[in-house]
A and B are shown apart, each in its own frame.
Chain A
Amino acid sequence: MKPGQRRLMFFAGAAGLVAFYLWGLLGLPGFGNYPGPYGPAILRVAVAQTQATGVVSAVNFEYRGFDTVGEEFILFTAAAGTAIVLRMLRGEGERSPVDEARDRDAPPTSNAVRTIALLFTGPVVVVGWWLASHAQTNPSGGFQGGVVLATAFILIYLAGAFLTFSKLSPTDVTDAVEAAGAGGFAAVGLAALFTGLPYLYNYLPLGQIPGAVSSSGTIALISFFVGLEVAAAFLLIVSELLEQTLLIRHGGR
């Protein structure tokens, strides 16, 4: 198909989309007048029921906890899928990890990048753990904290040390941490079944002070496990992609 035809088809389709979108828009409650039953209902009871002041975390790890198990396993599956798609193919071999560009020499990592990356590594780890352990308090949680934690390792790579990066995050350990994170979440839910409670029931003591780090029972615990899972999954995905550019040579072409 020629680019012109392609564009024409796109605009024909887009016209239909716009028509249906406008039609749908007419049925929406106006911006700022949200009347939905679920949000207000949860806002009325969430803090009293869970002792968590972060109601979004309470929704994610308590009211919609079962969905979040699935969500976490989506990421788990994606990490596994990336590893499978990027497995070493026939005729590919590893070589020493050197940055390179096709038509010029890759410049060496500058001291400025190296210094800043290493300076940030420590604080980033602290912020990551802080986020992963404060889901019940404020707009943080395992997902956000996990991504920030993974960033710490990527900073080490940016500092110009792929070997240090792969030494600090060996695939075996990262795999184990990812499994522990994903399995931990599921296990927290399963533990409720053994005492005759529903799956993912919040059976831990909720604490007295809403929003305290020790409050909210399983919400805080699940957030911790999610943090482990997300950090490990992102590290696996990033190191798979890095290995492609750094270690694996094009096969026999």
Chain B
Amino acid sequence: MQVFPFIVVAWIIGVGLYGIATSRNLIHQIVCLIVVQSSTYVLLLGVGYVTGAVAPYFYDVPVHTPAVDPVVQALALTDVVVEAAVTALLLAIAIQAHKRFGTLDPHELAEFKG
């Protein structure tokens, strides 16, 4: 069984989570979250891959050419949109946190209440 793509997925999740756990800067943590999420693209596309198949677009290939799964590709698109939305909101919240407390260090922010 060919597992290399799934090991890549695990590695991307791992480095992203490590970054979130150890980072001292909120913006950097948000970037790490984007890294974690990007592992899901690799996972989705990896799950739907069919050896030797074309992309699910039949503009210039015959309609019944074997193609990879279009459903997971559509899900990956949804994934990207959700990531963009989450990132925008988190960045906005980070700006407000910096305005209110004057720091972006999550360890220092944890000491503030309210």
Contacts and interface: CB of A to CB of B under 8 A. Distances in A.
Contact of B91 (A43, A74, A241): A241
A32 interface: yes
Contacts of B96: 85-86
Given A7-B22, A10-B21, A31 B46 contact: yes
Interface string B66-102: 0111111110011011101110110111011001001
A56 B80 CA distance: 14
A34 to B, nearest CB: 5
B68 A34 contact: yes
Interface stretch (A47-55, A97-105, A115-123, A155-163): A47-55
A138 B99 contact: no
Contacts of A7: 21-22
Nearest to B52: A32
Nearest to A234: B84
Contacts of A14: 14, 17-18
B3 to A, nearest CB: 6
A59 B89 contact: no
Interface string B23-36: 00000000000000
Given A6-B22, A31-B1, A31-B6, A56 B77 contact: yes
Chain B contact patch, size range = 35 or more
Interface stretch (A75-83, A166-174, A190-198, A199-207): A75-83
A218 interface: no
A34 B58 contact: no
A30 to B, nearest CB: 4
Contact of B74 (A43, A59, A82, A230): A59
Contacts of B4: 31
A55 B99 contact: no
A32 B70 contact: no
Given A75-B85, A79-B88, A143-B77, A59 B70 contact: yes
Interface in A104-157: 137-139, 141, 143
A101 to B, nearest CB: 16
B77 A78 contact: no
B5 A250 contact: no
Identify the interface centre among A40, A59, A72, A211: most chain B CB within 10 Å of its CB: A59
Interface of B: 1-6, 10, 13-14, 17-18, 21-22, 46-51, 55-59, 63-64, 67-74, 77-78, 80-82, 84-86, 88-89, 91-93, 95-96, 99, 102
20 contacts: A6-B21, A7-B21, A17-B13, A18-B10, A21-B10, A28-B47, A30-B2, A33-B51, A43-B70, A44-B64, A56-B70, A56-B74, A74-B81, A78-B84, A79-B88, A85-B92, A86-B95, A211-B58, A230-B81, A244-B95
Given A34-B69, A71-B82, 14 more contacts: A7-B21, A7-B22, A14-B18, A25-B6, A31-B49, A32-B50, A34-B48, A36-B71, A47-B58, A53-B58, A59-B70, A78-B84, A86-B92, A137-B59
